[in-house]
């Protein structure tokens, strides 16, 4: 079972960057259409990763390693991975943006994070059966998300349905990344993914929103923060991190973006957090920590070693 601590840390940093990008996304949504904003952040993520790839290739040559695809089959695998992951990411982001327009931000955040449940469910259909401990941790994580995000009753509107579709698409994207992350170079996959998102969002932006350079420049700081940190850095960390982490646990760690979004709003924007919301954060952190524990190693649960007479 793959659950490497270094890769877990990468996913933790990834969720932190996604969560703290909430402010940038809010500012960007006030000034630009969703496709234009998505195009801006994606093209920056794509451009940011090109020099990263060149530097890594140079370092590899000095060490006698080869990161670049060498055969036509390897290149086709990379292009296929970038197209599939990028198309799913574009579709998920689009559904989320449409849904947010007609539902509350808190409810949208809660429903989006439901990929924490959908990933292990999809895994069952792919022949992966998470143990009872993982299912228990998923349930606790969802309970924490509910306490953190939801206020009052819960009912599905049309906007909520769009966000639910977004959660399903994000679950497929996580599973697709898990399939390709050990087959192709992770940084090149991330770069190809953002090239695909740029093409899709750019086409829809030009057809539906007709943005001007002045509008985009006026929103350059939120775009830059989301493009470089959330897209270029965080999504690359997702791909690299998933190389060493099982999909159900990876989805739980990445769902911490809801916690970091709430905490960053509390610390930076002085938004209030109720005791219920703090409890939700604690439950999510606790569930993710519990998912990493080897229960057999605990003295009160594990088997006792037999000592020689």
- Count structural domains, the chain: 1
| Rounded average pLDDT over 32-42 | 88
Using the predicted structure, report yes or no on whether residue 116 has a pLDDT greater than 90.
no
Contact 86, 202 (CB under 8 A): no
Whether 71 maps to a domain, the answer reads: no
The least confident of 7-16, 55-64, 76-85, 86-95 is: 55-64
Using the predicted structure, report yes or no on whether residue 274 has a pLDDT greater than 80.
no
Residue 48 has φ and ψ, to the nearest 5°, of -65, -35
| Rounded average pLDDT over 178-200 | 90
CA–CA separation, 13 and 253 (whole Å):
9
Domain that residue 264 falls in: 5-63+86-292
CA–CA separation, 112 and 150 (whole Å):
12
Residues 272, 277, 279, 281: what is their CA dihedral angle, to the nearest 10 degrees?
-100
The CA–CA distances, whole Å, from 44 to 30, 86, 207, 283 equal 20, 15, 21, 35
pLDDT tens digit sequence for 123-141: 777 777 767 777 777 787 7
Whether 48 maps to a domain, the answer reads: yes
Whether 70 maps to a domain, the answer reads: no
Whether 75 maps to a domain, the answer reads: no
Residue 157 has φ and ψ, to the nearest 5°, of -100, 180
- List residues bridging with 3 in a β-sheet: 245
Whether 302 maps to a domain, the answer reads: no
Whether 306 maps to a domain, the answer reads: no
The CA–CA distances, whole Å, from 305 to 139, 293, 297, 301 equal 33, 19, 11, 12
78 versus 164: the higher-pLDDT residue is: 78
Whether 99 maps to a domain, the answer reads: yes
DSSP string over 99-141: HHTTS-HHHHHHHHTTHHHHHHHHHHHTT----HHHHHHHHHH
Give the torsion sign (CA, 161, 151, 145, 27). positive
| Rounded average pLDDT over 55-75 | 82
Whether 187 maps to a domain, the answer reads: yes
CB proximity list for 2: less than 8 A, separation 6 or greater: 243, 244, 245, 246
**CA-wise closest residue to 100 among 45, 26, 40, 154:** 26
CA–CA separation, 186 and 195 (whole Å):
14
Mean pLDDT for the chain? 78
Using the predicted structure, report yes or no on whether residue 215 has a pLDDT greater than 80.
yes
Report the pLDDT value the prediction gives residue 193, as an integer from 0 to 100: 93
The least confident of 79-88, 217-226, 229-238, 286-295 is: 286-295
């Amino acid at each position: 079972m793959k659950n490497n601590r270094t890769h877990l840390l990468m996913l933790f940093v990834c969720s932190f960057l996604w969560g703290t990008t909430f402010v940038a996304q809010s500012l960007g949504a006030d000034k630009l259409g969703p496709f234009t904003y998505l195009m801006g952040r994606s093209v920056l993520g794509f451009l940011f990763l090109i020099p990263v790839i060149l530097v890594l290739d140079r370092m590899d040559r000095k060490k006698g390693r080869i990161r670049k695809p060498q055969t036509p089959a390897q290149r086709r695998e990379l292009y296929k991975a970038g197209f599939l992951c990028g198309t799913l990411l574009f579709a998920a982001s689009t559904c989320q943006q449409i849904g947010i327009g007609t539902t509350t931000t808190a409810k949208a955040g809660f429903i989006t994070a439901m990929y924490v449940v959908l990933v292990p469910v999809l895994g069952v259909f792919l022949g992966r059966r998470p143990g009872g401990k993982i299912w228990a941790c998923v349930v606790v994580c969802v309970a924490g998300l509910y306490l953190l995000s939801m206020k009052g009753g819960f009912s599905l509107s049309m906007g909520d349905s769009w966000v639910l579709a977004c959660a399903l698409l994000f679950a497929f994207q996580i599973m697709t990344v898990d399939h390709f992350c050990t087959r192709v170079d992770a940084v090149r996959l991330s770069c190809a993914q953002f090239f695909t998102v740029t093409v899709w969002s750019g086409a829809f932006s030009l057809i539906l929103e007709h943005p001007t350079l002045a509008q985009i420049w006026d929103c350059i700081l939120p775009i830059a923060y989301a493009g470089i940190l959330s897209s270029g850095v965080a999504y690359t960390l997702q791909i690299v991190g998933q190389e060493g982490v099982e999909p159900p646990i990876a989805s739980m760690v990445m769902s911490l973006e809801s916690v970091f979004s709430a905490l960053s709003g509390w610390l930076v924007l002085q938004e209030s957090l109720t005791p219920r919301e703090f409890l939700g954060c604690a439950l999510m952190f606790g569930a993710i920590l519990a998912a990493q524990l080897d229960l057999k190693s605990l003295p009160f649960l594990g088997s006792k070693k037999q000592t020689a007479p």
